Chains A and B, each alone.
Chain A
Amino acid sequence: MLRRYKAIAVFTTAMILLIAFSSIVKSWLMQKNWVLEGNNIFDWLHDLGRYLMATIEANQKQSTLLLWLFPVLFTALLLTVVNIVTIALFILLRRWGSIRFLHRKNEMRKKVQASIIEYLYGDSESALEQMKQLKKQMLIEEIISLRKQITGSQTENLQQLFYQLGLDTFVVQKIKSARWFNKVLYIDAAQWMQVYASFELIQPYQYAGNPHLRNVAQMACVNLDTGQAFAFLNILDQSLPIWHQILLHKTMVRSSLPLPDFYSFLQSENASVIVFALNMIRLFSQKGSKDEIIRLVTHHDPVVRRNALRVVRDLNIYEAIPVVKQNFLGETLRVQVGMIQALSLDKPQETFEFYRNIWLDTPRRLQAEILKHVSPGLQAMLLKDMERVQIEQKQN
Chain B
Amino acid sequence: MADIFLNNLFLIIAALIMAIYLFLGIISMFQLIDYKRANRYTEFNALLSSPLAPGVTVIAPAYNESKTIVDNIKALFTIQYNNYEIILVNDGSTDDTLNRIIQEFDLVETEYIAYAALPTQPVKGIYKSRNQAYSFLTVVDKQNGGKADALNAGINVSHFPYFVAIDVDSIVIPDALQKLVKPFLSHTDNKTIATGGVIRIANSCKIENGQVVQVNVPDEYIARFQVVEYLRAFLMGRMAWSKLNGLLIISGALGMFDKDIVVQCGGYNSNTVGEDMELVVRMRRYLYEQGVKHKVEYIPDPLCWTEVPATHDALQRQRNRWTRGNMDTLKMHRKLFFNPKYGRLGMLGYPFWLFFEWLAPLVEAGGYVFMLFLLMTSMINWPVFLFLLLFVYLFSVSFSFYAVLFDEFTFHRYHRFAHLRKLFIIPFIEPIVYHPLNVYWAIRGNISFLKGNRKWDKLERQGFSNTASE
* Nearest B residue to A6, CB-CB: B30
Question: Which of chain A's residues have a CB closer than 8 A to the CB of B390?
Answer: 77
Residues 1-58 of A contacting B (Cβ, < 8 Å) = 6-7, 10-11, 14-15, 51-52, 55-56
Whether A87 contacts B7 in the complex (CB less than 8 A), given A243-B182, A243-B186, A364-B115, comes out as: no
B47 to chain A, nearest CB (A): 7
**When the two chains form their complex, are residues B50 and A250 in contact, meaning their CB atoms are under 8 A apart?**
yes
**When the two chains form their complex, are residues B11 and A59 in contact, meaning their CB atoms are under 8 A apart?**
no
**When the two chains form their complex, are residues A241 and B22 in contact, meaning their CB atoms are under 8 A apart?**
no
Question: Which of chain B's residues have a CB closer than 8 A to the CB of A242?
Answer: 52, 54, 185-186
A372 contacts chain B at the CB level, 8 A cutoff: yes
Question: Which of chain B's residues have a CB closer than 8 A to the CB of A239?
Answer: 188-189
* Nearest A residue to B5, CB-CB: A63
Complex Cα distance, B395 from A29, in Å, reads 22
B384 contacts chain A at the CB level, 8 A cutoff: yes
**When the two chains form their complex, are residues A241 and B187 in contact, meaning their CB atoms are under 8 A apart?**
yes
Question: Which of chain B's residues have a CB closer than 8 A to the CB of A10?
Answer: 26, 30
A329 contacts chain B at the CB level, 8 A cutoff: no
**When the two chains form their complex, are residues A88 and B401 in contact, meaning their CB atoms are under 8 A apart?**
yes
A340 to chain B, nearest CB (A): 13
* Nearest A residue to B419, CB-CB: A95
Complex Cα distance, B185 from A65, in Å, reads 51
**When the two chains form their complex, are residues A334 and B260 in contact, meaning their CB atoms are under 8 A apart?**
yes
Chain A interface mostly:
helix
Complex Cα distance, B402 from A87, in Å, reads 7
Question: Which of chain B's residues have a CB closer than 8 A to the CB of A66?
Answer: 7-8, 11, 384
Question: Which of chain B's residues have a CB closer than 8 A to the CB of A73?
Answer: 387-388, 391
Complex Cα distance, B381 from A15, in Å, reads 28
A369 contacts chain B at the CB level, 8 A cutoff: yes
**When the two chains form their complex, are residues A76 and B391 in contact, meaning their CB atoms are under 8 A apart?**
yes
Flag A175-189 by CB within 8 Å of B: 1 or 0 each: 000001100110010
* Nearest B residue to A282, CB-CB: B51
Question: Which of chain B's residues have a CB closer than 8 A to the CB of A244?
Answer: 186
B50 to chain A, nearest CB (A): 5
**Best-surrounded residue of B7, B387, B394 (most CB of chain A within 10 A):** B387
Question: Which of chain B's residues have a CB closer than 8 A to the CB of A62?
Answer: 4, 7, 381, 384
Question: Which of chain B's residues have a CB closer than 8 A to the CB of A283?
Answer: 51-52
**When the two chains form their complex, are residues A246 and B404 in contact, meaning their CB atoms are under 8 A apart?**
no
Question: Which of chain B's residues have a CB closer than 8 A to the CB of A260?
Answer: none
Question: Which of chain B's residues have a CB closer than 8 A to the CB of A61?
Answer: 3-4, 379, 381
**When the two chains form their complex, are residues B11 and A88 in contact, meaning their CB atoms are under 8 A apart?**
no
**When the two chains form their complex, are residues B384 and A7 in contact, meaning their CB atoms are under 8 A apart?**
no
Question: Which of chain B's residues have a CB closer than 8 A to the CB of A184?
Answer: 41
* Nearest B residue to A60, CB-CB: B4
B87 to chain A, nearest CB (A): 15
**When the two chains form their complex, are residues A249 and B50 in contact, meaning their CB atoms are under 8 A apart?**
yes
Interface size on B, residues (CB 8 A): 60
B400 to chain A, nearest CB (A): 9
Question: Which of chain A's residues have a CB closer than 8 A to the CB of B3?
Answer: 61
A300 contacts chain B at the CB level, 8 A cutoff: no
Whether A63 contacts B4 in the complex (CB less than 8 A), given A77-B391, A181-B40, A249-B52, comes out as: yes
Interface size on A, residues (CB 8 A): 62
Question: Which of chain B's residues have a CB closer than 8 A to the CB of A91?
Answer: 404-405, 408, 420
Q: Give which listed residue, A69, A181, A249, A279, contacts B11 with CB less than 8 A.
A: A69
Residues 216-248 of A contacting B (Cβ, < 8 Å) = 238-239, 241-247
**Best-surrounded residue of A61, A65, A87, A368 (most CB of chain B within 10 A):** A87
B376 contacts chain A at the CB level, 8 A cutoff: no
Complex Cα distance, B292 from A163, in Å, reads 50
Whether A84 contacts B383 in the complex (CB less than 8 A), given A69-B11, A184-B41, A239-B188, comes out as: no
**When the two chains form their complex, are residues A81 and B394 in contact, meaning their CB atoms are under 8 A apart?**
yes
**When the two chains form their complex, are residues B7 and A63 in contact, meaning their CB atoms are under 8 A apart?**
yes
Q: Give which listed residue, B50, B114, B189, B260, contacts A372 with CB less than 8 A.
A: B114
Whether A211 contacts B186 in the complex (CB less than 8 A), given A55-B381, A65-B11, comes out as: yes
Question: Which of chain A's residues have a CB closer than 8 A to the CB of B46?
Answer: 246-247, 250
Question: Which of chain A's residues have a CB closer than 8 A to the CB of B243?
Answer: 7
Question: Which of chain B's residues have a CB closer than 8 A to the CB of A6?
Answer: 30
* Nearest A residue to B161, CB-CB: A334
B43 contacts chain A at the CB level, 8 A cutoff: yes
Question: Which of chain A's residues have a CB closer than 8 A to the CB of B22?
Answer: 11, 14
Question: Which of chain B's residues have a CB closer than 8 A to the CB of A185?
Answer: 40-41
Complex Cα distance, B379 from A61, in Å, reads 9
Complex Cα distance, B384 from A230, in Å, reads 70
**When the two chains form their complex, are residues A279 and B7 in contact, meaning their CB atoms are under 8 A apart?**
no
A365 contacts chain B at the CB level, 8 A cutoff: yes
Complex Cα distance, B8 from A6, in Å, reads 32
Complex Cα distance, B43 from A77, in Å, reads 45
Flag B183-197 by CB within 8 Å of A: 1 or 0 each: 001111100000000
> Would you list 8 pairs from A and B whose C-beta atoms are within 8 A, ordered by A residue?
A61-B381, A63-B7, A63-B8, A77-B391, A243-B182, A245-B52, A250-B46, A367-B115
Given contacts A10-B30, A250-B50, A367-B115, 11 further A-B contacts (CB under 8 A): A6-B30, A56-B381, A62-B4, A62-B384, A69-B11, A83-B401, A91-B420, A95-B415, A243-B182, A249-B52, A333-B260
Using CB atoms and an 8 Å cutoff, list the residues of chain A in contact with chain B.
Answer: 6-7, 10-11, 14-15, 51-52, 55-56, 59, 61-63, 65-66, 69, 73-74, 76-77, 80-81, 83-84, 87-88, 90-92, 94-95, 180-181, 184-185, 188, 211-212, 238-239, 241-247, 249-250, 279, 283, 333-334, 364-365, 367-369, 371-372, 379
